[in-house]
Amino acid sequence: MVKSYRFDPETIVVEAGQTVTWTNDDNFTHTVQIEGREDREVGRGESTSITFDQPGTYQYVCTLHRRDMQGAVIVR
């Protein structure tokens, strides 16, 4: 979901228990860090997946490009 220094879509809505996968289609390394959790580096062509068990709104950023790359996972 990463392209040209952005997350697409920035906000996604999922059901509790579902897994979200971020795939890096950009030419640069990015990261996915859910607020308060570990930072996950995602290189070119790589993916990282996170399962969300608890409902809530989870803000996330790429810690390398905080200004441009932010998003949210809304878990219902």
Residues lying near Cu ion in the complex (CB under 5 A) are found at: 30, 62, 64-65, 69
Minimal distance, residue 30 CB to Cu ion, in Å: 3
| Residues 6+ positions from 43 with CB-CB distance below 8 Å | 24, 29
Of 18 and 65, nearer to Cu ion (C-beta) is 65
Q: How far apart are CA 42 and CA 36, in angstroms?
A: 18
Amino acid occupying residue 63: T
Minimal distance, residue 6 CB to Cu ion, in Å: 9
Minimal distance, residue 50 CB to Cu ion, in Å: 16
